[in-house]
A and B are shown apart, each in its own frame.
Chain A
Amino acid sequence: MSRPAAGRRGGDARLGVNPITCRAHGLCAELLPELIGLDEWGYPILAASPVPPQLLEMARDAVAACPTLALRLSGAR
């Protein structure tokens, strides 16, 4: 899973959500409003762009905070 070089720069890191396990808790959008919005039903809408390096740490926090572990960060170390 890890692609160290690109991941460290954040150029390759992308957020993804498992739409089946996501239960609209909405923590991710509170923790990372820069990249995650909520639709009218409370489900996350993720930015299509890669996670910029300065937001990588916050993205990790958002992933860890998801009560159902539906949010994931791929391509980052």
Chain B
Amino acid sequence: MVRVPRATPHQVMAAAGQARPADPDSPYRLLAGWVDTGRPADLAAHQRRHGPLPVPAYPGRAGPHRLIGVVDRSGLRGRGGAGFPTGRKLTAVAAGRRRPIVLANGCEGEPASRKDHVLLSVAPHLVLDGAILAAYAVGAEEAVVCLHAQDPLADTLRAAIAARSGDPVPLRVAEVPDRYVASEASALVNFLNTGDPRPTAKPPRPFERGVRGRPTLVDNVETLAHLAMVARYGPEWFRRLGGPDSPGTTLVTVTGAVRLPGVYEVPLGTSIGQVLELAGGAAEELQAVLVGGYGGSWLPLPSGGGIRLTHADLQAAGASLGVAALVVLPARGCGLAETARVLRYLAGESAAQCGPCMFGLPAIAADLTAVVEGAAGRRGGAVLDRLGGRLEVIRGRGACAHPDGAVRLASSALRVFGTDVRRHLSGRPCPWAAGGPRLPVPGDAAPGAR
């Protein structure tokens, strides 16, 4: 899956806390080992490259606090979708009265994303270092790596944990049901507490009261891997790449109509067009790109190619970085039909707990399907109006952000594929609407589906 150009091997000078990466300006940070060797890094290879766990660089009672300060100054933001500043989250969890728990979220419920899978496959110890360092920073008594049940990675990670020694905090793996919303932070907490893998209402948020009632830090595994790098090489190094509001590199999953779909590591601030070039460029004429996964937003191509992958730039373009997944739609595809299919999938993935989600998502999926199929006929305008009204009403009214993601996807489709909407409604659907699906959803027989 990972296709990245080979670079020359580097030697690493790593003394705890004073470490310098082999090539401070390399765009390969998390994937450097893979790029150099083409092999997953076992513990020995990991330590040759990055040195030992840098806990001794943060000694004494003030050490954890100093580590949080370093993460805070790095400007690292969460890579799980929300983009929340990691330093602030650490501070909030550490401020609780009881001993916290750390959850490393590697479930990757997002079908358009593979980056957590790739990262855990090629650099498991970087993630584990990050989980341990985060636990050390907040004073946690345990760190749990959350993966999907039946995911072979669970065995990989258990073996990696068994190979380690001397970690100041115990590590374990928890297997979570493979459902879209089950990897949401409160759903992980709920599952570990009660066995029910559905999100819960906020407040309380996990950082206030999470696993076993304790303050719980839930961070994406990529976030923790970056944290493990920041703890070694420092905030200034981390900010050498990326932009002021979105520093560092990020793992991007590129799928769809590119020649080399895969997971790539790029500095934040890289333009969408550059990322697509990295993925081998267009495999055919392109129409649009879905940014941020199935709860993300469509942007038109080629005009959207100039937009840079930063939180601020994407927000200005009416999109969001999400889990940094790009799904590329060719010109010979129907964005509306694809969106309707994904919406039906998202509606089916509702945890059926919140009214606006369990009724609203099937309703907007049905509305868009009616538009796509031209079934609305002369009432097409009315269906479109109803859909618009429903999109307004659903947002922000679920216990988790699942309905918001579906609304974001549908709204952006109406915006970007506006011409197609009029064409479908006038009874002249685009010739590709009946074609095979371009965006795989779990359960499909389509290639690429998991």
Do A and B bind?
Answer: yes
**B interface vs A, CB < 8 Å?**
200-201, 353-357, 359-360, 390, 393, 397-399
**Complex contact B399–A19 (CB within 8 A):** yes
B202, closest chain A residue (CB): A18
**Complex contact B201–A21 (CB within 8 A):** yes
Contact partners of A41 in chain B: CB under 8 A: 355-356, 359-360
**25 A–B pairs (Cβ distance < 8 Å), ordered by A:** A18-B201, A18-B399, A19-B353, A19-B354, A19-B355, A19-B357, A19-B397, A19-B398, A19-B399, A20-B200, A20-B201, A20-B399, A22-B355, A24-B355, A39-B355, A39-B360, A39-B393, A40-B390, A41-B355, A41-B356, A41-B360, A42-B355, A43-B355, A43-B356, A45-B397
**A interface vs B, CB < 8 Å?**
18-22, 24, 39-43, 45
Bound together, the chains give a CA A15 to CA B397 distance in angstroms of: 13
* Chain A: minimal CB distance from B243 (Å): 32
Contact partners of A24 in chain B: CB under 8 A: 355
Bound together, the chains give a CA A75 to CA B216 distance in angstroms of: 25
Q: Which 5 A-B pairs have the closest CB atoms?
A: A43-B355, A19-B354, A41-B359, A18-B201, A20-B353
Contact partners of B399 in chain A: CB under 8 A: 18-20
* Residue of B355, B357, B390 most packed against chain A (CB within 10 A): B355
A18, closest chain B residue (CB): B201
**Complex contact B200–A43 (CB within 8 A):** no
Contact partners of A39 in chain B: CB under 8 A: 355-356, 360, 393
Contact partners of A19 in chain B: CB under 8 A: 201, 353-357, 397-399
Bound together, the chains give a CA A42 to CA B360 distance in angstroms of: 11
Contact partners of B393 in chain A: CB under 8 A: 39-40, 45
Bound together, the chains give a CA A24 to CA B357 distance in angstroms of: 13
Which of B354, B359, B360, B390 lies in contact with A20, CB distance below 8 A?
B354
Known: A19-B398, A41-B360, A45-B397. 6 other contacts (CB 8 A): A19-B357, A20-B354, A21-B201, A39-B355, A39-B360, A43-B359
